[in-house]
Amino acid sequence: MAGNCNFRVCGVGARTLILFLMTARDPNTSVQDKSAVLSALYLILALGVPIVYVMVTHHVWEDFLITFRHSQNLVEGRGLVYQPGERVQGFTSPMNTLLPAAFYWFVGGSDYSRALNLYRVVSLLAYVGGGWVILRLMLIDRGADRWSPLVFILLYTTEAKTVAYTMNGQETAFMVAFLCLGFAAIYRGPGKFWRLLALGWTGLLYTRPDAPVFIAALGVSALVFSAENQREIITGLLKAGGVAALAYLPWFAWSWWYYGQPIPNTLLAKSIDTPGYLLVPGNLGSIIISTLESFPIAAGSVFEPIYASVGGWPQPWLDLFGMACAVVSAFYWMIPSRDHMGRLASLLFLFTAAYLSFVRVWAITAVAPWYLPSAGIFGTIALARAAVEIAKCIPGVKRSPVAFARVFQGCVLAVAVVLLVTMTMEMRIQQREIEQNNRRVIGLWLHDNVKPGQTVMLEPLGYIGYYSNAHILDWPGLVAPAVVRLRREKNAVLDDIVLDLKPDWIVLRPDWTFNFLRFAYFRENYAVEHVFDVSKTLDHYSYIPGKGYLDSDSIFIVVHRKTPD
């Protein structure tokens, strides 16, 4: 059935695209008719592609189950907590926690499925609405490449990560939608459209804790590219900022009162790994150098699949593709032209990609893939607008810049479609074999074997924590303040955590097992209870795009403490 739906969406979209190409070449076709066909094409693809994706994959991102356990506890009277009795904010997005809670309260049910489906509907509407705002701006602005609205539609609806995180339970669609509102207000003039800007900024604050970074990027970009005078711009920014701050104040005050601090515990847990030199006053130069060195990888990953660097993709070719898109997106703003929209998007991509680069340095790891669409929306706008203007600046193609631009855009679109299709294949297998047949099974096994009052230590918190319903001591401490305290006060590593907290059960990855076997206390006090291994099942597939990502979650060893100390 999913396959038939897939073919229907592709067929309708293809027919609408052909209709647009025919009308675009007809000089008798009015601007209104062309806009109507483009709008229809957008709605078909923006609604159809994510729906087909979730029908094919049934993808539920692990982090959704972390936040939903908070949502479920709230509705069932145990408070907005992960573990009853511990007031710990183990989620980062109020939007991604309170909306599922409202849906769970409304529809009920024994698990997350009904609430998630409603959340998917609202996320899909946010995704469609954000792209619609940008498309309408492009249809109104006739000063740039006339094909840019079509290119934007095709790029936006084939950006694999944005499609995936719109439907798998993350807050990404809301982040993208509110960024689009902010972009529209900045482009049209924050002095006149400060109310729209305030709405976008308020939404950002309720969606992610790093929203102030994006608010600052929008504000600085307005000062650079807005057509209004500086006084109008600054006045509009201050009004929008004041309204957004007042609108966010109730949540800020309540979370401070309820949890004892306004900063999510997830951020406190992750910040412990921050390199020391980033915290030393006067090291600004080192920070800038590290961020610049990391920028090519962070900016390029915006256009690559989920966790592509883990393995299983043709990485050199992906890096080349990502780098080409990143260079165009990040530096188009420097080319003088009348295309203020494209140049504004380019400058915003530069700012947001630089932030992702800093996060990569701060976290000493790859940037979480659900962060990337926040920069990707600006990259998509820039790629749709920039090709012709950049081609005019390249020696050797000045005589035929349009032809060069179409070839470049065609290549980008072709790769985007291939990545969407192959990543859909990957996530279908990942959901079936890793999430449903491995991590969910581990959680259910623990649910049947962990006794009341016992604790479980693990790293992949989502599925295992949700289905086990056990008291979790997770690494790095997202919902476990005791772990965060030990890491901060004693600079504790995994061995120290086990020695101090003595968890009754530990869910180990193979590399964890290897490290723990060198630890005498572990060898003497813990015994293997069960090995959960789907690696051989993965090997039966003839081809899995991004198989390295699946391999990393294919084997877990559950150990149990032999006797209480």
Q: Which distant-in-sequence residues (6+ apart) come within 8 Å of 376 by Cβ?
A: 159, 161, 162, 302, 303
Q: Is 112 helix (H, G, I), strand (E, B) or coil?
A: coil
pLDDT in tens, 404-438: 888 899 999 999 999 999 999 999 999 999 999 99
Q: Looking at the predicted structure, is the pLDDT value of residue 28 above 50?
A: no
**Both structure tokens of 385:** 């607008």
> What one-letter code names the amino acid at 45?
L
How many angstroms separate the CA atoms of 260 and 254, rounded? 9
- What average pLDDT does the segment 253-270 reach? 91
Under 8 Å between Cβ of 71 and 100 = yes
pLDDT band at 42, cuts 50/70/90?
Answer: very high
- What average pLDDT does the segment 128-149 reach? 88
CA dihedral 548, 306, 534, 266 (to 10 degrees): 110
DSSP collapsed to 3 states, 409-424 = HHHHHHHHHHHHHHHH
Residue 558 pLDDT: 96
| Residue 419: how many other CB atoms lie within 10 Å | 22
Q: Is the peptide bond before 395 cis (omega within 30 degrees of 0)?
A: no
- Where are the chain's structural domains? 435-561
pLDDT band at 111, cuts 50/70/90?
Answer: confident
Short-list 38, 136, 88, 443, CA closest to 434: 443
Short-list 434, 468, 399, 470, CA closest to 544: 434
Residue 93 pLDDT: 94
Residue 493 pLDDT: 84
How many angstroms separate the CA atoms of 31 and 24, rounded? 9
Residue 378 pLDDT: 97
How many angstroms separate the CA atoms of 465 and 69, rounded? 9
Which of 102-106, 226-230, 556-560 is predicted with the least confidence, judged by mean pLDDT?
226-230
pLDDT band at 490, cuts 50/70/90?
Answer: confident
The number of helix segments (H) and strand segments (E) in the chain equals: 25, 5
What separation in angstroms does the CA of 203 have from each of 171, 199, 373, 563? 11, 6, 16, 51
Q: Which distant-in-sequence residues (6+ apart) come within 8 Å of 356 by Cβ?
A: 298, 299, 301, 302, 367, 371, 372, 375
Residue 270 pLDDT: 81
